[in-house]
Structure 1
Amino acid sequence: MSQPAHASPHTTTDDTTIGEPALHGRAAIVTGAGSGLGRATALALRAAGADVLAVDVDGDAARRTAAQSPDTAGAGRADAFAADVTDPAQVDAYVARVQEVFGTPTLFFNNAGVEGAHTTLADTTLESWFSVVNVNLHGVFLGLRAVLPVMAAAGGGAIVNTGSLLSLKGAPARADYVATKHAVLGLTRVAAAEGAAAGVRVNCICPGPVDTPLMSRSEHLVNPDDPQFERRRFIAGTPLGRYGTPQEIAHLVRFLLSPGVDYLTGAAVSVDGGITAV
């Protein structure tokens, strides 16, 4: 179907019509959009005027995200798509879907991930290892591989990959998660270097503990008898003394995807309540 012309993907806010949201007319993809950071970011991008394809392996969760409308004048549209980010054909399918419904994507939150097994390296099973690597690493790689050429052909765009505080440091009993999140940061830097000439910016957010379903599952995996103890332990180690909220992370992602930060690419942006500062 024919699509309306989109704003230039890498111009400053000076070209935004007065009264229009900053991302008006942009097409966006958010993976892992069924809950947590993905859902909050899908809503934040829509509130800024972007048209968002909410992608999740759980199609019902993706549809719930798409059905949740931000209470903002000029909010963008939404569509939902069920896809397994570890399957190259399904990744290509979500890129084709956003092009069909909203036009060429110039915004991409490459976010889908899983928490890992919380076992020592020696006790990590091959099944568990490959399960985490497939989602956290291969899923991010496949998303970049599919989206980067499309954005480059369109004249540019912006991508944010979801790394972690554990993209920057190690932790016991987290071999699978730490390895994949370090790799996500490496992929971010490669993609930023390769995309720069085509006007594609690629950055990586490195969240600390955030109050999401993934964090709750981690608390239960570490201490099934007393998950609240784990929550208190994480909070005690965070200078700001609390978990982050999905909305706080979503505001950062929206900023990183927005016009006006065109000189920022290849960065690891910590958002961890001060953990890496001490």
Structure 2
Amino acid sequence: MVAIVTGAGSGIGRAVCLELAQAGTQVLAVDIDLAGAEETSRMSDGTVVAHRADVSNPAEVEQYVAAAVDTLGIPDQFFNNAGIAGANRAIVDMTPGEWSTTISVNLNSMFYGLKYVLPHMITAGRGQIVNTGSIASLQGAAKRADYVAAKHAILGLTRTAAAEVRDHGIAVNCICPGSTDTPIIGKFRALLARDGQAIPALGVGGRGMASAQEVARTAAFLLRDDVPFLTGSAISVDGGASGRY
């Protein structure tokens, strides 16, 4: 089995790389932070290969897909995951540049990944894809217009892709994590602290957040090839937070 994982230098992406490697999958670990991707590679048993790419650049996305095919083979699995925290400003205060950056990294990258991975999977007649959404895919949040808009759009992109490729033996699903113990949540905490806010304590048993490994296990399940009828779905991994009101 061959997989591509983006945002593989830390957090959920790293955890998914290690889950897949443990199952014997060869993984191309893609991140703009090459040192982080290389550290993920060192944590594996040699089946994870680091690759630097800016996922918001379509040419570099095309290149990482080509690198995977050339060095490992046609990907059976694609974890389309890389993202950033966003600006955390009210709409009236957010700059066009901040909006554009978040949309580019969190949404455009997902489209580019699908655009360049799917032709190979269609040729092979198989594939499992998981896009990373968020609890923000399911509800609004003040001062997070850029992030929420991108994550909502990922649901539509997931369902559309699933409809387009289901007859080619390819499943496309989305995970929607809540608060997860990753570097991005640290940046989010810093942004909230700047504005005198705090992340609410949500989750099973009153836990504040999930571990990256817990979310990774859900993604790894969706990347399996023995659940073919599961496609076009959004799976919440948020300790029940999205069900509260």
User: What letter is aligned with 2:40?
Assistant: T
Measure, in 1, the Cα distance between the counterparts of 2:121 and 2:236: 26
Deviations, residues 174-228 of structure 1 (Å, cap 9, x unaligned): 10000000011110001000010101100000000001100011000111487xx
When residues 38 and 118 of structure 1 are mapped into structure 2, their CA distance, relative to the original with a 3 A threshold, is same
CA contact (8 A) 1:188 1:204 kept: yes
Measure, in 2, the Cα distance between the counterparts of 1:159 and 1:48: 17
Deviation, structure 1 residue 113: 0.3
Query: Match of 1:127?
Result: 97
1:33 aligns with 2:3: no
Query: Match of 2:34?
Result: 59
CA contact (8 A) 2:9 2:39 kept: yes
The counterpart of 2:147, out of the listed 177, 181, 201, is: 177
Measure, in 1, the Cα distance between the counterparts of 2:115 and 2:158: 12
Measure, in 2, the Cα distance between the counterparts of 1:240 and 1:55: 34
1:17-28 to 2 correspondences below 5 Å: 26-28=1-3
Measure, in 2, the Cα distance between the counterparts of 1:247 and 1:179: 26
State which structure, 1 or 2, has the greater radius of gyration over its C-alpha atoms.
1
Measure, in 1, the Cα distance between the counterparts of 2:195 and 2:167: 52
Deviation, structure 1 residue 155: 1.1
Query: Match of 1:255?
Result: 221
Deviation, structure 1 residue 51: 0.3
Deviation, structure 1 residue 82: 0.3
Deviations, residues 65-102 of structure 1 (Å, cap 9, x unaligned): 111125xxxxx711110000111111111111111111
1:179-194 to 2 correspondences below 5 Å: 179-194=149-164
User: What letter is aligned with 2:130?
Assistant: V
Measure, in 2, the Cα distance between the counterparts of 1:225 and 1:133: 22
Q: TM-score normalized by structure 2?
A: 0.96
Query: Match of 2:80?
Result: 110
SS at match of 1:52: strand
Spell out structure 1 runs of 4+ moving beyond 6 A: none
Query: Match of 1:17?
Result: none
Deviations, residues 29-88 of structure 1 (Å, cap 9, x unaligned): 000000000000000011111100000011111111111125xxxxx7111100001111
Query: Match of 1:136?
Result: 106
User: What letter is aligned with 1:257?
Assistant: L
Unaligned runs of 5+ in 1: 1-25, 71-75
- What RMSD in Å do the two structures reach over aligned CA positions? 1.4
Q: TM-score normalized by structure 1?
A: 0.85
Unaligned runs of 5+ in 2: none
CA contact (8 A) 2:128 2:225 kept: no
User: What letter is aligned with 1:93?
Assistant: Q
